[in-house]
């Protein structure tokens, strides 16, 4: 009977050790699961922040591109305006020169004829 009591005692200790080991494993698993969930949420937040930053970067780049296009268009209009003004001024001076030449020609003909 002593051997039976000894074997039952050893079995009871083994069962208690298994229950304690299972509880420790369960608690460790739950702790790790919470940590993994926290890391997953943090990862999702970082991903969203990265996507937001990427969208802002694209918007900023598109804004810069639009500003560059607007400034180039404004520069072309300004240059075109200045070229037109210069062209008008030169045309006016050329027409004045032709009028003076015509006047001199007419005066020269009237002196010769007159």
Tens-digit pLDDT profile for residues 75-91: 999 999 999 999 999 99
Output the pLDDT for position 113. Answer: 62
Q: Binning pLDDT at 50, 70 and 90, where does residue 114 land?
A: low
- Cα separation, 34 vs 43, in Å, equals 14
Mean of pLDDT values over 30-47 = 96
Where in the chain are the domains?
Answer: 1-45, 61-114
CA dihedral angle for residue 44, residue 47, residue 49, residue 50, rounded to 10 degrees: 170
Output the pLDDT for position 93. Answer: 92
- For residues 109 and 65, the model is more confident at 65
Over residues 15-36, the pLDDT tens digits come to 999 999 999 999 999 999 999 9
Q: How far is CA 6 from CA 3, 17, 18, 20, in A?
A: 5, 16, 18, 21
Output the pLDDT for position 26. Answer: 95
Is the pLDDT score of 11 beyond 90? Answer: yes
Read off the tokens for 6: 């000894």
- Cα separation, 43 vs 37, in Å, equals 10
Read off the tokens for 95: 């027409």
Total-model pTM: 0.53
Q: How far is CA 45 from CA 31, 35, 40, 58, in A?
A: 21, 15, 9, 20
- Cα separation, 25 vs 19, in Å, equals 10
């Amino acid at each position: 009977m002593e051997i039976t009591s000894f074997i039952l005692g050893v079995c009871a200790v083994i069962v208690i050790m298994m229950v304690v080991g299972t509880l420790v494993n369960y608690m460790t698993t739950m702790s790790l699961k919470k940590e993994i969930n926290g890391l997953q949420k943090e990862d999702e937040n970082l991903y969203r922040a990265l996507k937001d930053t990427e969208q802002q970067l694209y918007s900023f780049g598109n804004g810069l591109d639009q500003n560059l296009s607007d400034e180039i268009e404004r520069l072309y209009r300004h240059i075109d305006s200045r070229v037109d003004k210069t062209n008008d001024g030169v045309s006016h001076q050329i027409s004045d020169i032709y009028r003076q030449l015509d006047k001199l020609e007419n005066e020269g003909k009237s002196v010769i004829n007159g």
